[in-house]
Amino acid sequence: MPLPRLFPVSGLLLLPLFLNAQVPVEPKPTELDEVIIEGKAESLIGTATSASKGQTSTKELLERPFSRRGELLESIPGVIITQHSGDGKANQFFVRGANLDHGTDFLIYLDGMPVNFRNHAHGQGYADINFIIPELVGELEYWKGNYYAQHGDLSSSGAARFKLVDELPQGILTSTWGEYEFSRTLIADTIQAGAGKLTLALEHQFYNGPWDLNSDATRWNGLLRWHWEDGTDKINITAMGYQGDWMSTDQVPQRAIDDSTIGRFGFMDATNGGHSRRYSLSFDWTREEGRTTTRTSAYAGYYDLDLFSNFTYFQNSMARGDTLGDQFEQQDQRWFIGGELARDWRFDTLGQEQRFTLGVQLRGEWMNGIGLYNTMNRDRFNVVRKDDIFQASYGLFSEFEFKPTSWLRVIPGVRGDLIHFDVQRSTLNENTGTLSKGIVSPKLSVVFGPWADTEFYFNTGLGFHSNDARGVNIVTDPDTGGGADRVDPLVRTYGAEFGIRNESIPKLVNTLSFWLLRSDSELIYVGDAGNTEPGPGSQRYGIELASYWRPTDWAMVDFEGTWTEAYLRTENPPSQDIPGSIPYTINAGITLGKAEGFFGSLRGRYFGRRPLNETQDIQALESFQVNARVGYRRKNWEIALDCLNLLNRSDNDIEYFYESQLASEAAPVEDRHVHPIEPRMLRVSVTWRF
């Protein structure tokens, strides 16, 4: 397909010209100073612009025993990661009282490359991080709210950026074996490559799980990363590849478990599952020239997903008068390209250092055959909808950090976005169409202090999320043939936060924030359709408390707790609860261990009961999990034992409430549909560094 004229691909190729520099081929004698990220207990007074801004380090991420890749994001206060089907899919995200499905309204980056996909076959903002290798993450930086000019679409609840290591200090070979046929092997090393360093990594993982239907979940990850730096420039060129295949035990009806039709780990459709691939090439260049910093990134890649699900079993089938079942296939295939150019200028005024930032972001996606099909045993018997879509976005942002005195920082910002929606081909010709829509989002942060190692923050801003291009241009419902209402292309969000950061006690960091987020239209997860649809406006507010205590370099204690109130802004009744909104979360742990000798970690994660419908008649059960690790390390090797779900609790990973119909039932039945957490399991890891 030819590239549409709207997207200035040539602009990406000419980005280095903005820097007025050539890529050096020989290293210079001087080197950039090494920056060591200590983690959450690191002091951010004087640099952070909100109480909820933070970061965590490689060391802290790898000290956490976790059962799935997405749980790396649980290092962000208040973020809960679950799964409602197979191990190859993107995880389920919960943050600030929102069930974000698979990533909607929480923006994730890998270095300068966004992870979320718009117009995805399985839901807007779909973000699958299975392609990230944890040992190669150097830092995870995170933000909450829509107060930051550099973040645009899909970031109203917050954003996170995984930053890969520039190079490995040692080669690494690690292998893990566990119950239910879990195995994982990673080999990675950094070698000299011309004037720079080349990091190579290959990962393989297999897992069958405790399910009655074997998962056969297989994952391959590969990475090549070339790094070069001197006293002025730092360049990374990264190629990544991911492939995953799996069988799914989706959420199942509670009534089928209660009457022993299936067991707790049973299934309803033996052919659910999928496969996914993601390949990317990215370029990141940072230049430090005196008091000016220029950041350039560009990326391109290919992604596909073929997903088979069945959430209602025979409800639609019996309504059609057949016994083919309700399995459906969601197919996504796309090429993507984009980039960013931003510059910081630092200068002195009023005896204080000031900063001005200006940046531009471009992105384009070509989606060929985004499809929804009715299937039986993975064989298609009906095309519900198939679309070819092009979407481009152009963002311009600026921010001025003005410091009139030593105790006050005022940071106004503004962001402008233009998004082009183009459904080029559809099963129904009237559902094609083109639309461009722009939006301007002002931001403001004010920081007071520090006084007695304490800072106070006030943040407010406007943000937005885009809706699916198919809903923006729809005229006729392809499933029923009836008329369909178009959705707003861009939905406005409003946010505010007041926070405190205190570091007056040595080696102890405390943050407290009170926040509010309002949306003109809520994206609500529809369990029996497997995607999201626009709903009424919503409002959320809450409190977040976090404490990090590092009394020595070998001990860390942390506690994170959140409380949230969330409701839909409906007219009659005046308000309704938001299904899936979690009111309480707690994440806490203790980690012990020196560079050599015994080490260990004990972590607990709790999320409370939550409504499954708008009237709170049905509540999901609370969940509490404890994971533990104990190990021993020497200079070049270590061995560790992880125990996941230490208390062997029989909680649920996810719960929904909707209608479904079993083959033996005469009519649909409203019921809970659950995906249980996995039972207690042990995993042993052996690591050698060379």
Q: How many CB atoms lie within 10 A of CB 1?
A: 10
Structure-model confidence comparison of residues 442 and 527, the more confident one: 442
Q: How confident is the model at residue 526 (pLDDT cuts 50, 70, 90)?
A: low
Question: In terms of Cα–Cα distance, which of 571, 565, 496 is closest to 535?
Answer: 571
Q: How confident is the model at residue 524 (pLDDT cuts 50, 70, 90)?
A: low
**Mean pLDDT of the 102-117 span:** 95
**Mean pLDDT of the 382-388 span:** 94
Give 450-484 pLDDT, tens digit per residue.
999 999 999 999 999 999 999 999 999 887 888 88
Question: Which backbone phi and psi does 79 adopt, to 5 degrees?
Answer: -85, 130
| Distance, CA of 249 to CA of 246 (rounded, Å) | 10
By the 8 A CB rule, do 164 and 103 touch?
Answer: no
Q: Which two tokens stand for residue 477?
A: 């419902």
Give 131-165 pLDDT, tens digit per residue.
999 999 999 999 999 999 999 999 999 999 999 99
Name the 3-class secondary structure at 143.
Answer: strand
Question: 565 pLDDT exceeds 50?
Answer: yes
Q: Distances in Å between the alpha carbon of 320 and those of 219, 314, 480, 653?
A: 38, 10, 12, 32
| Model pLDDT, residue 614 | 83
| Distance, CA of 659 to CA of 309 (rounded, Å) | 16
| Distance, CA of 579 to CA of 421 (rounded, Å) | 29
Q: Distances in Å between the alpha carbon of 255 and those of 67, 179, 660?
A: 28, 29, 11
Question: 351 pLDDT exceeds 60?
Answer: yes
Q: What amino acid occupies position 256?
A: A
| Distance, CA of 647 to CA of 679 (rounded, Å) | 9
| Model pLDDT, residue 615 | 80
Give 81-97 pLDDT, tens digit per residue.
998 888 888 999 999 99
Residue keyed to tokens 């560079």: 595
User: For strand 538-552 and strand 433-448, is the pairing parallel, antiparallel, or unpaired?
Assistant: unpaired
| Distance, CA of 26 to CA of 28 (rounded, Å) | 7
Q: Distances in Å between the alpha carbon of 35 and those of 165, 232, 353, 553?
A: 12, 15, 21, 17
Structure-model confidence comparison of residues 218 and 16, the more confident one: 218
How far does the chain reach from its first CA to its final CA, in angstroms?
47
Q: How confident is the model at residue 103 (pLDDT cuts 50, 70, 90)?
A: confident
Name the 3-class secondary structure at 139.
Answer: strand
Q: Distances in Å between the alpha carbon of 285 and those of 165, 232, 342?
A: 14, 11, 11
User: For strand 106-110 and strand 158-164, is the pairing parallel, antiparallel, or unpaired?
Assistant: parallel
The 3 state secondary structure assigned to 374-422 is EEECCEEEEEEEEEEEEEEEEEEEEEEEEEEECCEEEEEEEEEEEEEEE
Q: Distances in Å between the alpha carbon of 602 and those of 59, 68, 71, 623, 646?
A: 15, 17, 15, 17, 10
Give 414-444 pLDDT, tens digit per residue.
999 999 999 999 999 999 999 999 999 999 9
Q: How confident is the model at residue 108 (pLDDT cuts 50, 70, 90)?
A: very high
By the 8 A CB rule, do 332 and 303 touch?
Answer: yes
Question: 374 pLDDT exceeds 60?
Answer: yes
Lowest mean pLDDT among 11-20, 54-63, 127-136, 502-511: 11-20
Counting residues of the chain whose pLDDT is more than 90, the rounded percentage is 83
The mean predicted confidence, pLDDT, of the chain is 91
Question: In terms of Cα–Cα distance, which of 150, 128, 73 is closest to 275?
Answer: 128
| Distance, CA of 624 to CA of 66 (rounded, Å) | 14
| Model pLDDT, residue 222 | 98
| Model pLDDT, residue 30 | 39
Edge-to-edge strands of the sheet including 106-110?
54-57, 137-144, 158-164, 106-110, 113-114
| Distance, CA of 591 to CA of 138 (rounded, Å) | 19
Lowest mean pLDDT among 12-16, 231-235, 441-445: 12-16
By the 8 A CB rule, do 612 and 654 touch?
Answer: no
| Distance, CA of 179 to CA of 642 (rounded, Å) | 11
**Mean pLDDT of the 263-284 span:** 97
| Distance, CA of 326 to CA of 345 (rounded, Å) | 57
| Model pLDDT, residue 20 | 41
By the 8 A CB rule, do 159 and 108 touch?
Answer: yes
| Model pLDDT, residue 525 | 56
CA 370, 373, 375, 379: dihedral to nearest 10 degrees? Answer: -60
Question: 17 pLDDT exceeds 80?
Answer: no
Q: How confident is the model at residue 29 (pLDDT cuts 50, 70, 90)?
A: very low
HSE on the CB side for 242, CA within 13 Å? Answer: 20
Question: 596 pLDDT exceeds 50?
Answer: yes
| Model pLDDT, residue 45 | 95
Q: Which helix (H) or strand (E) holds 260?
A: none
| Model pLDDT, residue 516 | 97
| Model pLDDT, residue 38 | 62
Instruction: Find the angle CA(576)-CA(83)-CA(241) to the nearest 5 degrees.
Output: 130
641 burial (CB, 10 Å; 0-12 / 13-18 / 19+) is middle
Question: Which backbone phi and psi does 70 adopt, to 5 degrees?
Answer: -65, -20
Question: 34 pLDDT exceeds 50?
Answer: no
By the 8 A CB rule, do 143 and 120 touch?
Answer: no
Phi-psi group of 645: left, alpha or beta (phi > 0 → left; psi -120 to 50 → alpha; rest → beta): left
What residue spans of 242-336 are helical by DSSP H? Answer: 254-258, 315-320
| Distance, CA of 315 to CA of 299 (rounded, Å) | 43
Q: How confident is the model at residue 575 (pLDDT cuts 50, 70, 90)?
A: confident
The CATH code for residues 36-689 is 2.40.170.20
Q: What amino acid occupies position 62?
A: L
Question: 496 pLDDT exceeds 70?
Answer: yes
Residues 6+ apart with CB under 8 A from 351: none
| Model pLDDT, residue 25 | 42
Q: How many CB atoms lie within 10 A of CB 634?
A: 11
Question: 603 pLDDT exceeds 60?
Answer: yes
Question: In terms of Cα–Cα distance, which of 170, 188, 295 is closest to 240?
Answer: 188
| Distance, CA of 637 to CA of 686 (rounded, Å) | 7
List, in sequence order, every beta strand (DSSP E) within 553-636: 555-568, 576-577, 584-593, 597-607, 610-611, 619-620, 623-633
Task: Kindly list the domain boundaries of the chain, sorted by start residue.
Answer: 36-689
Q: Which residues pair with 221 in a beta bridge?
A: 203, 242
| Model pLDDT, residue 308 | 96
Q: Which residues pair with 590 in a beta bridge?
A: 557, 602
Question: 7 pLDDT exceeds 80?
Answer: no
Question: In terms of Cα–Cα distance, which of 639, 674, 638 is closest to 658?
Answer: 674
Question: 331 pLDDT exceeds 90?
Answer: yes
| Model pLDDT, residue 31 | 42
Q: How many CB atoms lie within 10 A of CB 322?
A: 12
What distance separates the 2 farthest-apart alpha carbons in the chain?
79
208: Cα separation from own chain's centroid: 25
Question: In terms of Cα–Cα distance, which of 229, 180, 252, 131 is closest to 654?
Answer: 252
pTM value is: 0.92
